[in-house]
Amino acid sequence: MRSARAVLPEGYKISASFFQQWQALNDWLLNHESFWRPVPFMEPKPDWCLQYPDLANWLEQRSDAECDEWNEHLSAFAQEVAGFVPALSAYDELVSVPRLSGYERGSKAALREVHAVDMPGRKRLQAGAFAASIAPLKGRVLDWCCGKGHLARTLVGQGAEAVFGFEWDTELVQDGNRLAKKYGDPVHVVQQDVMAEALHWPAIDHGAALHACGDLHRQLLSAGSEAGLARLSVSPCCYHLGGHGAYRLLSQQARHSENVLEIDRAGLRLAVQETVTAPARERAQSARVRIWRLGFDALQRSVSETGRYLPVPSHPARLNNGSFEGFCQWAADKKRVLLPADIDWSYWLAMGQKRSRQVRRHELLRHLFRRPLELWLVLDYAVYLEEQGYRVNLGTFCERSLTPRNLLLDAVHVNA
């Protein structure tokens, strides 16, 4: 481990490229925030429908099949929508990042299936792709928030001399050390609260984190650079987890820029809303419950004094096999909404179906801003790492179909 706050070489300059990319995204997102700030589930008639009535009408006429196709190919959708909002044609350029070297070798770098005990197949391949993209490794590596140490054991196969793991859950710590011993891997997992003020760092050169959530991955960036780690490799996830209030950027350059985008938890959630396709049964159940929730929302707005959206908590699984009426009665009881006795349930169910169709189309437009928002966050991380004296590589380490969270920051200190 290098000494903390190492002195940078004379003449070292921070690259302007990541900051310029961040600035371009910041301005673009600010100029189009009327499209992505309103949450379609909560706002039936966002302001952009009045600003761009032709776009709203065109979207309303799209079939479900078209929505499905465009949701998988947002680049093509952006060019289509640019006919109504020309500046959206910049989508491709704004979200373009390179593939990292090792991209094609992920499956070969993954743990053998027989060694991937308790590790889902998709996670096994994600760990392999991550490891391949930061290979070859040398020295001692730390697997941050390591769980059972699956990534740690994967990293051993890419040349790491030894891998340590930080994990909070004592059962996972025990399982991780048991698996390492069983397969003869030089991996040692220790119990550690990574958010603690004083971290007890092992003798390591390199900190790695695959899909550590929110403040957990931000803590590795800040604490790891403060501790003087020679290398940091981070694939972020769940940016909305941790912290309260408005999101605080990491880099000084971004913080002190003019007209900086302010983003709340809803905006951070949008950055990670993309998921891989669920099984047909789960999709059908999710669609049915969504119709019920929107039908209840329309009903409660009609009887409430405010006429506003009313958030309803997660419902018990037993309601999934019930009826729309049963769901509404449960939701009304939970939110203390007094429903009239003579409700036409078929009417409000139809209203839910109508709203669900509308929400799907409005969400399609909003989804154009998922990746730009995520890159806005990650580019700020890249600028921050450069400010700490690292040379940074940013790109994708696997296909989106394996995980939508496929961005990877790989940073090596200039004094390493």
Instruction: Note the pLDDT tens digit of each residue in 395-416.
Output: 999 999 899 999 999 999 998 7
CA torsion angle 57 60 62 64 (round to 10): 170
Greater pLDDT, 277 or 403: 403
Q: Which of the four pLDDT bands, split at 50, 70 and 90, describes residue 225?
A: very high
Residue 13, classified by CB atoms within 10 Å of its CB into exposed (0-12), middle (13-18) or buried (19+), is exposed
Residue 185 has pLDDT above 70, yes or no: yes
- What's the DSSP call for residue 7? P
CB of 128 closer than 8 Å to CB of 107? yes
Model confidence at 268: pLDDT above 80? yes
pLDDT, residue 8, reads: 46
Q: E-strand spans in 145-240?
A: 162-167, 187-191, 206-213, 231-237
Hey, which residues does 408 pair with through a beta bridge?
395
* Of the candidate ranges 3-17, 29-43, 371-385, 386-400, the one whose mean pLDDT is the lowest: 3-17
Largest CA distance in the chain: 79
Which carries the bigger pLDDT value, residue 54 or residue 106? 54
Three-state SS at 306: coil
**264 band by pLDDT with thresholds 50, 70 and 90:** confident
Q: Using DSSP bridges, classify how beta strands 231-237 and 206-213 pair: parallel, antiparallel or unpaired.
A: parallel
Place of tokens 């992505």: 36
CA distances from 41 to 53, 73, 358, 360 (A): 19, 22, 9, 9
Mean pLDDT of the chain: 91
User: Rounded to an integer, what distance in angstroms lies between the CA atom of residue 3 and that of residue 26?
Assistant: 35
- Residues 25, 94: contact at Cβ < 8 Å? yes
Counting every residue, how long is the chain? 416
Given a cut of 60, is residue 5 above it in pLDDT?
no
Percent of residues, the chain, with pLDDT higher than 90: 81
**Encoding tokens for residue 181?**
């011993």
Across 287-304, average pLDDT: 95
The pLDDT score that the predictor gives to residue 275 is 62
DSSP state, 13? -
DSSP assignments along 65-112, one per residue: HHHHHHHH-HHHHHHHHTTTSGGGGGHHHHH--PBPTTGGGHHHHSPP
In whole angstroms, give the CA distance from residue 208 to residue 220.
Answer: 8
253: Cβ contacts below 8 Å, ≥ 6 apart: 14, 19, 383, 387
Q: Which residue has the higher pLDDT, 89 or 101?
A: 89
Residue 62: strand, helix, or coil: coil
Burial class of 280 by CB neighbour count within 10 A (0 to 12, 13 to 18, 19+): exposed
Retrieve residue 186's tokens: 């030089």
CB-neighbour burial class of residue 376 (10 A; exposed 0-12, middle 13-18, buried 19+): buried
Q: How far is CA 43 from CA 37, 180, 186, 245, in A?
A: 10, 51, 53, 21
How many CB atoms are located within 10 Å of the residue 243 CB? 14
Residue type, 334: K
Domain ranges of the chain: 280-367
At 271, the amino acid letter reads: A
Element (H, E) at 355: helix 345-367
Residue of 277, 415, 376, 358 whose CA lies nearest to 60: 358
For 316-353, how does the pLDDT look when each residue is reduced to its tens digit (9 = 90+)? 999 999 999 999 999 999 999 999 999 999 999 999 99
d(CA 232, CA 410): 6
**190 with 164: CB under 8 angstroms?**
yes
Which residues contact residue 303 at a Cβ distance below 8 angstroms, ignoring those fewer than 6 apart?
337, 338, 339, 340
